[in-house]
Chain A
């Protein structure tokens, strides 16, 4: 049985594995980009747009879920108003960013077109992540539950009649 120290070590190892794989993918992409023949992708704009749109989406979703699950003890002022304001501020910041010329290629440079493109990109990536999670852990679950284990020997024991023993 693991103690607390082991649990921390195990999760640290798992985090390290994920980070290593992410770095590997980055290296592979950079290596292939260095080979040339890549159309212009402004990764900084993509990162900024994606971060802001994700921030807006997660805050809006949390705002709506807070409203849907509200009850008399809920901290509506802090949670609902806080998430709504955060989403509005991020939306204004996104508008400012686009107006100042930090845009992504492939669509018109007005704020709504840029937001719509980024939002659909984000939803597509979310969908891909969900599929990857479902596929991986679905397969892992079927494999893990497929192992044959001997039945518990206690189940094979018969109940004993104490009256007969006493006789």
Chain B
């Protein structure tokens, strides 16, 4: 039986998240304000969840998110510092910060590797059940995305061999790491579990691609049907004398030139 706290403080916020995002990106200021308030309330509802995180699969997913805050923050700040202290016209940070940004990025990768091989996220010795699914999905996505970035830099860029080689290194390193996990495992997990997780993650990723793509195509069809039902708009009538006089008046007022 699903606990009421999970409905109100996990599934409802997850369901309402797109509504909050939609309101925040609206043009009207009152809608934007309502969206911000809704997003804050959703965040509070999730954070204030009273049940321990290790009592449900929903709680474990939040535990995974909390466990990864450190490496994610290091990567975000690393990219931010490096980007805005580089040789770009809008750089608000001093150039001396740039190496620190690179160090933070390396720290992020090292932190993730440490969690992977030495300190799997756990509560009281019980490992997070979502960890292997996350790692295999992340490495699989990283191989493809970094590979795409490599080809993108080479094809679209102008003499971007250095950048492309760095991205290719990330893609190859992710692939080797994934294969290593599938073949050798880690100190806490046998390779059998990693293989099962990776195989399952491939099924999930393929299904997500298919289902999401189908939903987007259906939405485009709905928009097309809506536009089609509108019919051809009536031709616009030319201005009458009174309207012409008003327009001429406005133009002459703004340009200072009489007709």
Contacts and interface: CB of A to CB of B under 8 A. Distances in A.
Nearest to B133: A124
A92 interface: no
Nearest to A50: B207
B125 to A, nearest CB: 20
A99 interface: no
Contacts of A33: 195, 199
Interface residues of A, number: 83
A132 B198 contact: no
A17 interface: yes
Contacts of B147: 17-18, 21
Contact of A136 (B142, B162, B203): B142
Given A79-B222, A136-B170, A140-B153, A54 B178 contact: no
5 contacts: A51-B214, A65-B21, A143-B163, A144-B157, A149-B87
Interface in A101-158: 107, 112, 116-117, 119-129, 131-149
A127 to B, nearest CB: 7
Interface string A32-52: 110001110101111111111
A48 B134 contact: no
A65 B18 contact: yes
Contacts of A79: 219, 222-223, 226
Contact of B210 (A51, A67, A117): A51
* Chain A contact residues, majority secondary structure: helix
| Most chain B CB inside 10 Å of its own CB: which residue of A13, A43, A54, A148 | A54
Contact of A58 (B22, B76, B216): B216
Interface stretch (B43-51, B57-65, B237-245): B57-65
Contact of A54 (B58, B156, B162, B211): B211
A139 B211 contact: no
B160 A144 contact: yes
A24 B64 CA distance: 28
A113 to B, nearest CB: 9
Interface of B: 2, 11, 14-16, 18-19, 21-23, 25-26, 31, 35, 57-58, 61, 64-65, 68, 72, 75-76, 79, 82-83, 86-88, 101, 105, 130, 133-134, 137-138, 140-153, 155-157, 160, 162-163, 166-167, 170-171, 175, 178-179, 182-183, 191-193, 195-196, 198-208, 210-212, 214-216, 218-219, 222-223, 225-227, 229
Contacts of A54: 207-208, 210-212, 215
A139 B65 contact: no
B212 A55 contact: yes
Contacts, number: 266
Nearest to B155: A10
A69 B202 contact: no
Contacts of A24: 143, 175
A64 B22 contact: yes
Given A60-B18, A79-B222, A128-B137, A68 B195 contact: no
A66 B198 CA distance: 35
B22 A143 contact: no
Contacts of A68: 18-19, 21-23, 26, 31, 35
Given A64-B16, A147-B87, A131 B195 contact: no
A117 B57 contact: yes
